[in-house]
Amino acid sequence: MTIKQRGLISIVIALSCAFIFQYFRVPEPSIQPKPDLNKHSLYSNYQFSADPKIINMGIQPLGVPIGAVSELIKRDKILHKKLDQLGFKLSFYDFLKGSDLFYFWEKGLDIGLSGDMPTLMAATNHDIVITSLVKQEFTSLVAREYGLLSELKNKRIGVPFGSNAHYSILRALKLENIASEDVTLINIDLQEYAQSLNERSIDAFAAWEPFPTLARKIDPELVVIHKGLSTSYLLISIQLFNKHPEVAKLVLAAQLRAMRWMNLSRKNLYQASTWQLKAYEVLMQKKSLLNVKENAELIRNGLLNITDTPIIPETSLAEGGFLHQAFLFLQKMNKISVNASWQHVYKSFQPELLAAVLADKKHYQLEIFDYREGSHE
């Protein structure tokens, strides 16, 4: 099966599930106070530069493959040389998850790599340009003592509320004719899933990679009993895009080079995996349980369904499509206003930027690769 065929299959999966939401009543969540991330141990010292020549980019070192893509962007000599010629510099900021990244968006971030649900929330509340796919894979539902979705009736499932994993769980329950009231969904931080399982405060959890694979490394008795579509995107502030469209194109070209370089050879993929695991160690102050080969396989899976042209499918954006249904889900979950406009979000997706870069391969050097050992910072 070709990569293109796999991509088409994933799109079909997404569309076949999309109709479910409009018939599925989601219970209203209890209103919980939002945490003040300004006091977070990682983010409290972040000072985003106000210098218009410094581009602040939010990345997620823990995510695959977006963590690997961002590590290659850090090391891309072609990108940084071209930015230097224009008088610009990239500055990178680590985030644990996409919702954290967008908490700080208006404080000075210009570019981000994020999953579908945080991206949709950002597009609702901010003026952004969403350029391309960076990941198309699956979230996983993981359990120890249960092998079927039907066995989770009256059980407790941990999931980050409002995430793509949450959306996937609700769709899966509907397919199994399990009412949402027949399970207890618990809003959980993914850093706590292993302890919660061991303490039996939850019976299963849903998450994106690498968390399901890490959990199974800790406890080999855990099994994946369901998977749902998960996507990630590159997005740019409208201010940066309008003032400096060439800078936006250069960063997009770096994303394309990173994906193509990893797809060229297993050696390249392993090198990217090594760099991402180093970033994981720095951020978490501990080594990952995954080795280079295991992490590389997760990166490869995330890229497998994306061709060298990571176009966001129009079918996903159409009314009733995957992203539109996810938008409606977020409204039901009170993650975005019920008065939010889908048309506003739809206009944030601008594939013409990707088309412009692809049309000038020579200028953007899409087939030339030059990565330094250390990051640019």
End-to-end CA distance of the chain: 40
DSSP letters of 102-143?
HHTGGGT--EEEEEHHHHHHHHHHS-EEEEEEEEEEEEEEEE
Of 20-34, 44-58, 243-257, 277-291, the range with the lowest mean pLDDT is: 20-34
What is the mean pLDDT of the segment spanning 13-35? 42
* Confidence label for 13 from pLDDT (cuts 50, 70 and 90): very low
Is the predicted pLDDT of residue 8 greater than 60, yes or no? no
pLDDT of the residue at 350: 94
CA angle at 359 for the pair 358 and 363, rounded to the nearest 5°: 85
Checking if the pLDDT of 358 tops 60, the result is: yes
Helices 245-264 and 66-75: crossing angle, nearest 10°?
A: 110
Tell me the average pLDDT across 27-56. Answer: 79
**192 or 282: which leads in pLDDT:** 282
Give the tens place of pLDDT for each residue, 55-67: 999 999 999 999 9
Q: What is the mean pLDDT of residues 338-363?
A: 95
Query: Would you state the pLDDT for residue 359?
Result: 96
Domains plus CATH for the chain?
3-136+231-364 (3.40.190.10), 139-229 (3.40.190.10)
The mean pLDDT of 73-92, rounded to a whole number, is 98
CA dist 101 and 109 (Å) reads 8
Lowest mean pLDDT of 13-27, 102-116, 178-192, 253-267, name the range: 13-27
Q: In this predicted model, what pLDDT tens digit does every residue of 251-298 receive, in sequence order?
A: 999 999 999 999 999 999 999 999 999 999 999 999 999 999 999 999
Q: What's phi and psi for 178, nearest 5 deg? A: -105, 120
Q: How many helices (H) and strands (E) does the chain have?
A: 17, 8
Q: What is the mean pLDDT of residues 288-309?
A: 89
Residue by residue, DSSP assigns 193-247 as: HHHHHHTTS-SEEEEETTHHHHHHHH-TT-EEEEEEEEEEEEEEEHHHHHH-HHH
pLDDT band at 97 (very low <50, low <70, confident <90, very high): confident
Pairwise CA distance, residues 297 & 284, whole Å: 21
Q: Return the percentage of the chain with pLDDT > 90, whole number.
A: 65
The closest alpha carbon to 91, from 63, 64, 77, 110, belongs to: 110
Per residue in 140-164, pLDDT (tens digit) is: 999 988 888 889 999 999 998 878 8
